[in-house]
Chains A and B, each alone.
Chain A
């Protein structure tokens, strides 16, 4: 059975530099095994890098990368591209990158990948990549709720325009703001950090080969107190968005935890931007990794390399929820359901 193709979502506010980044990716041989779904070919000025127009929607780049425009339904666009791959009419790509428009919410794309009855057997979610403009990023974070949300749900935060004098001037303040909003995301400066595929697109928690590496990074962020312990009340990173960590000293009953988490995201999913956790579950041979974006709970993953891990840590990025209330809530539901 073919391994499911990882899907990365590329997002970022209007003008952040998504199309510039995509233009660079499409020309880089290291990304030759990627297919890219974009809104318009014209936006990224592909013409001089184009080898072949496969048909109206799909082109092949000199790098080997496939580029495809989305007309309407994203699920149909992905299915069509996968069908073309299976039929051998496009190159056998191993990864899919989907660009969202600047004002779009990337979560529905993730939900489509996970829940579409056909796609869920062929593709899996990968990282959310959020491009942040070093020139206007701070201003956008202050003024635009969608910009804050895009940062909060990211796995990789990609700083663009740091080579411009206006961008370089405020870059440290912007990094502080981004870390406060989403301490667990890997921060990549396009102009100073190597951005090879393995940095930008992996490792991720859904890949059996390298999920441990990504989870260890989360844990280090928590251990370094980049997240704020719940008893401090968390920290208002940017107005209404708060990140905090809950440490659970006891072994968790998985059934009880699932009921609590499912009820929490059902009732407060709009306020929960991200949940990441590694849990010591009763009866499990290895720690269990949980990962949610708003109401979208990814299937749990099991860690192979535990390295002595025997506690439970849950990291939250929320909008307008009281950290202490969340912690007490889990305790209360455990008390109600555990005899």
Chain B
């Protein structure tokens, strides 16, 4: 399965799409999920929410009080972040998003 299809929760019929990615750009499903988690955490950590992979195929969403939820797809992440985190991320309100990193910053 290519990252394009896996991220939006595509069904098994999307697995054939892997052939459309340039070979050099194809990540394994696990590598793609790890990258998604990294990016998600950049948005959610300032809200006290840490996201990690769970059992290879799911995501664990952990709030600042220790409450946790397991979700299956990206579309389930945001409601969980709303429930567990401090305040709400709104892509149309830049003040609710983290500040862009300065040049030379690296996020591990």
CB closest chain-B residue, reference A267: B90
Whether the Cβ atoms of A299 and B14 lie closer than 8 Å is: yes
Chain B 2-44: CB-based contact to A (< 8 A → 1; otherwise 0): 0111011111111001011110111000001001100110110
- Please state if B20 and A255 are interface contacts (CB–CB under 8 Å): no
Distance in Å: Cβ of B16 to nearest Cβ of chain A: 9
Interface of B: prevailing SS: helix
Q: Give Cα A333 to B91, complex, Å.
A: 7
Given A255-B32, A335-B100, residue A4 in contact with residue B13 (CB < 8 A): yes
A329–B24 CA distance with the chains assembled, in angstroms = 30
Give the total of B residues in contact with A, Cβ under 8 Å: 45
Q: Does A302 contact B (CB under 8 A)?
A: yes
Interface string of A254-268 (1 = CB under 8 A from B): 111011101110111
- Which residues of B, 67-108, contact A by the 8 Å Cβ criterion? 74-75, 77-79, 88-92, 94, 97-101, 105-107
B22 lies within 8 A of A283 (CB): yes
- Taking CB atoms, residues of chain A closer than 8 Å to B77 are 262
Partner of B3, one of A255, A322, A330, A336: A255
Is B43 a contact partner of A300 (Cβ separation < 8 A)?
no
Q: Are A337 and B78 in contact (CB under 8 A)?
A: no
Most A CB contacts (10 A, CB to CB) among B78, B79, B88 go to B78
The total of Cβ contacts below 8 Å across the A-B interface reads 113
Using A120-B11, A284-B25, A339-B105 as known contacts, say yes or no to A256 and B39 having CB atoms under 8 A apart: yes
Do A284 and B92 form a contact, CB below 8 Å, given A300-B10, A337-B42? no
- Asked if B7 contacts A332 (CB within 8 A), the reply is no
- C-alpha gap A303/B15 in the complex (Å): 15
Q: A297-B75, A300-B4, A332-B100 are in contact. Are A267 and B21 (CB under 8 A)?
A: no
A266 in contact with B79 (CB, 8 Å): yes
A239 close to B (CB within 8 Å): no
Is B11's CB under 8 angstroms from A121's CB? yes
List A294-339 residues whose CB lies under 8 Å from chain B. 295, 297, 299-300, 302, 321-322, 325-326, 328-330, 332-333, 335-337, 339
Known: A263-B43, A267-B88, A283-B25. 9 other contacts (CB 8 A): A258-B8, A258-B36, A259-B40, A263-B78, A264-B92, A266-B75, A329-B91, A329-B92, A339-B105
Q: List 10 A-B contacts (CB under 8 A).
A: A4-B13, A262-B75, A264-B92, A299-B5, A299-B10, A300-B8, A336-B43, A336-B99, A337-B43, A339-B106
